[in-house]
Structure 1
Amino acid sequence: MTAPRPSPFPTSTSAFDPPKGLQPTPALARLGTESAFEVLARAKALEADGRSIVNLGIGQPDFAPAPHIVEAAIKALHEGHHGYTPAAGLPELREAVAAELEPRAGRRLDPGRVLIVPGGKVTMFLAILMFGQPGVEIVYPDPGFPIYRSLIDYSGATPVPLPLREAKGFAFSAEEALSLIGPQTRLIILNSPANPTGGVTPEAEVARLVAGLADHPHVAVLSDEIYARLLYDGRKHASLLAYESLDERLILLDGWSKTFAMTGWRLGYSYWPQSLVEPAVRMAINSFSCVNAAAQFAGLAALTGPQDAVVEMHAAFDARRRQVVDGLNDLPGVGCVEPGGAFYAFPNVTGTGLTAKQLETALLETAGVATIAGTSFGLFGEGYLRISYANSSENLKEGLQRIGAFLADRGVA
């Protein structure tokens, strides 16, 4: 069993300073953060001071939602949809989500097992707190979305990182994942296509993992598939939903933010094992009651309406992906494997002579380019940067030129 590692993520110890006499739970000090928002705030502050900043840090499509999506929300408001909805979501939206997921599953799905939530993070929050407690272990990808580790720490569970390696294109290894499962493991978190690496795990590797999980019936699986429709070069999404053997222990996470450029709408969905639907809905009632009604009508229009905007955005991301990978591989001290999905590149920057955090800081403060250090996504992210190509081709070109000039000034060969 891999020994637990100290959290690489900043805790709130310095920022969380309650007035003398107040005694909030110490668990708050275990909560990490998402560095992309910290970098965004610093980039905005520099812009406010008159600096020109190219933001290649934030994972947010630079496209607007399709007009019919916005119109559906406006129409819902005009029609008087201002009240509470069922806690699990509008019935018609849950039905549309089940229909959306059925091609992944290869079978009919039960809309009653769909939960509409205010953003993908909420599914993580519900699932990790449902299984996380002192004395248990949760396996999670590293480098991976930082909120996985943050919430595991907060729950009191022991985080067990599953390394994602450049040599495998940042796909997870089924053999390695299975080797990390022990008697105390209660949940394994998987993400493909992946943030921050853009890695895509092949179907054969997914199948090996599922076969091995048969020996570990006490382990639930959280499959984060938020980038499922952002795949390139003819790749097919290998969803864990396709394996009926996982039916009663798979929690699937997806939503509207990435595919439909609806990040600010805070709209996500999840598909739960039948036995966990009631506790998940109960947690929802205790936390957010229900999701914004107008946003749900917009989500319905997104799933059931024209998909032209999705196709156009995908084509733009694919072109930018090639531009970014070629540009990064032309830089001194930098090498980048081609990402198979999402809208991130994860270049190896060890040849620059700087740590990931040093390079992130220097590029922002000196070159005016916002990036995210790989260590913001885990200990195995050292030596890498996350570059988001959810930005215009012109800005990507400018950002790469600035990075190149910065490295040249440092004498990186």
Structure 2
Amino acid sequence: MLPSSAKRMTNVEFSKIREISAKAAERANAGHDVFRLTLGEPDFDTPAIAQAAAFEAIKAGDTHYTPNTGIQALREALASKLSNENGIPAKAEEIIVTNGGSEALLDTFLALLNPGDEVIIPSPAWPNYDSAAHMAGATPVHIPMESANGKFISPIEQIETSITPNTKILVINTPHNPTGVVLSKEELQELANLATKHNLIVVSDEMYEKIIADETPHYSIASFPGMAERTITINGFSKAYAMTGWRVGYLHAPTAYYPAIFRVHQFNTACTPGFAQQAALTLLKDGEQAVTEMKESFQRRRVLLQSALEKATNLTVMEATGAIYLFVHVQHNDSNIRDFALRLLDETGVACVPGTAFGSAGEGYLRLSYATSEEDLLEAAKRLVAYVG
């Protein structure tokens, strides 16, 4: 018998988000109608100025290794962005350019967690937090988010009662995937107080920070007094700049944690391609118009989809002003929301992600991505409303 795989990997599940997407693709390949409200991927092309910058970089020979931490000009621009836009006292030497936010998260968890450590994750949550914790040999502790007046809020009291001597990291995600919630300044202050009181490291995922509607402000917890020294901020270009396939993310880490995270990154992926970094640098300098146009389009789609769904008595659309999702509670007769989502796809062609793809706290909900055309959104909503009544 061959040696077995690492035991810690038995707790790492395959993505349940991709399950529905794969089945939707099968249906489409068979010639059936499919309306995909699944993946969190902007349906825009990467802005032309970024494409041009990458082409020029390639023609100039920028196809070799870059410094492990990223090209200096990009790191300086990112430090300036974090300082000026987010209020985080960042320096270039505290930045690591990564292969997407996923790598930034995994590098951070592998660098900071020991077997037996605990990671608090308000749920439902992006499944990578859970997987990265397991890969590091740590234990994810899921705290269900509270629902009040049609909106998810931070479960402050439940988080505090769940803190043990083994708790090391508190995960914060704002704007939030999958619920679309943007945490308020007051909520973040309460979380900052908890982290300080219990001496926790905060990992703040802010990937959707530029996709916020209704003039809702975004706050970075690392900008709060006393938080920069204990917060790793993770961000990237995938969502705001429609660069999912370019794999350009970054993290800001304080001096105490930077060397360990850098070591993981150095031996994990070495560096992000130089031409992709040049494209990202160009967008940091001149890409705000493209961001604004995409943001305005997403806001129109959100309003359009929400208005269409509110016609159904058996659907409750939760309040959401950030990211590219609506989280919708469904009254149905199936044994669980996954079975309902599969039946919905089978019988109507509407593909949505079951809330349990983001943990058990998502039971009863569907995540609907509105990163698709207005025409498809309206038809998907029409079919979903007619299906549930």
Instruction: Find the counterpart in structure 2 of residue 179 from structure 1.
Output: 161
1:348 counterpart SS class: strand
State the AA in 2 paired with 1:385. L
State the AA in 2 paired with 1:44. A
Picking from 136, 146, 151, the partner of 1:165 is 146
2:330 is the counterpart of 1:330? no
State the AA in 2 paired with 1:395. D
Instruction: Find the counterpart in structure 2 of residue 15 from structure 1.
Output: none
2:12 is the counterpart of 1:31? yes
1:396 counterpart SS class: helix
Q: Is the 8 A contact 1:115 1:281 kept in 2?
A: yes
Instruction: Find the counterpart in structure 1 of residue 359 from structure 2.
Output: 378
Q: Is the 8 A contact 1:89 1:116 kept in 2?
A: yes
Instruction: Find the counterpart in structure 2 of residue 201 from structure 1.
Output: 183
Quote the sequence identity (%).
Answer: 32
2:122 counterpart SS class: strand
Instruction: Find the counterpart in structure 2 of residue 361 from structure 1.
Output: 342
State the AA in 1 paired with 2:255. Q
2:295 is the counterpart of 1:314? yes
Q: How far apart, CA to CA, are the structure 2 residues paired with 1:316 and 1:149?
A: 32
State the AA in 2 paired with 1:70. Q
Instruction: Find the counterpart in structure 1 of residue 72 from structure 2.
Output: 91
Q: How far apart, CA to CA, are the structure 1 residues paired with 2:293 and 2:176?
A: 21
Picking from 210, 231, 238, the partner of 2:219 is 238
Q: How far apart, CA to CA, are the structure 2 residues paired with 1:268 and 1:107?
A: 17
Q: Is the 8 A contact 1:104 1:242 kept in 2?
A: no
Q: How far apart, CA to CA, are the structure 1 residues paired with 2:100 and 2:194?
A: 31
More deviation in 87-96 or 226-235? 226-235
Q: Is the 8 A contact 2:112 2:260 kept in 1?
A: no
Superposed CA deviations along residues 353-400 of structure 1, whole A, max 9, x for unmatched, are: 332112210111111111000011011100100000011110100111
Instruction: Find the counterpart in structure 1 of residue 173 from structure 2.
Output: 191
Picking from 123, 143, 146, the partner of 1:142 is 123
Superposed CA deviations along residues 318-362 of structure 1, whole A, max 9, x for unmatched, are: 11111111222212311112202101000111x223321122101
Q: Is the 8 A contact 1:389 1:396 kept in 2?
A: yes
Q: How far apart, CA to CA, are the structure 1 residues paired with 2:288 and 2:142?
A: 37
State the AA in 1 paired with 2:190. R
More deviation in 28-37 or 373-382? 28-37
Once the two structures are TM-superposed, the CA of residue 33 in structure 1 deviates from its matched residue by 2.5
TM-score between the two structures when normalised by the length of structure 2: 0.96
Once the two structures are TM-superposed, the CA of residue 205 in structure 1 deviates from its matched residue by 1.3
State the AA in 1 paired with 2:160. L
Once the two structures are TM-superposed, the CA of residue 100 in structure 1 deviates from its matched residue by 1.3
Once the two structures are TM-superposed, the CA of residue 131 in structure 1 deviates from its matched residue by 3.0
Once the two structures are TM-superposed, the CA of residue 104 in structure 1 deviates from its matched residue by 4.2
Q: How far apart, CA to CA, are the structure 1 residues paired with 2:108 and 2:152?
A: 24
Instruction: Find the counterpart in structure 2 of residue 66 from structure 1.
Output: 47
Once the two structures are TM-superposed, the CA of residue 42 in structure 1 deviates from its matched residue by 1.6
Q: How far apart, CA to CA, are the structure 2 residues paired with 1:29 and 1:106?
A: 40
> How many residues of Structure 1 are paired with residues of Structure 2 in the alignment?
387
Higher strand share: 2
Once the two structures are TM-superposed, the CA of residue 107 in structure 1 deviates from its matched residue by 5.7
Q: Is the 8 A contact 1:140 1:162 kept in 2?
A: yes
Structure 1 residues 21 and 222, CA gap change in structure 2 (3 angstroms): same
TM-score between the two structures when normalised by the length of structure 1: 0.90
Q: Is the 8 A contact 1:116 1:267 kept in 2?
A: yes
2:87 is the counterpart of 1:102? no
State the AA in 1 paired with 2:181. G
State the AA in 2 paired with 1:300. L
Instruction: Find the counterpart in structure 1 of residue 111 from structure 2.
Output: 130
**Over the residues paired in the alignment, what is the CA RMSD in angstroms?**
1.5
Superposed CA deviations along residues 85-125 of structure 1, whole A, max 9, x for unmatched, are: 00000000001111111134436421110000001011110
Question: Unpaired segments of 5 or more residues in structure 2?
Answer: none
Q: How far apart, CA to CA, are the structure 2 residues paired with 1:66 and 1:322?
A: 24
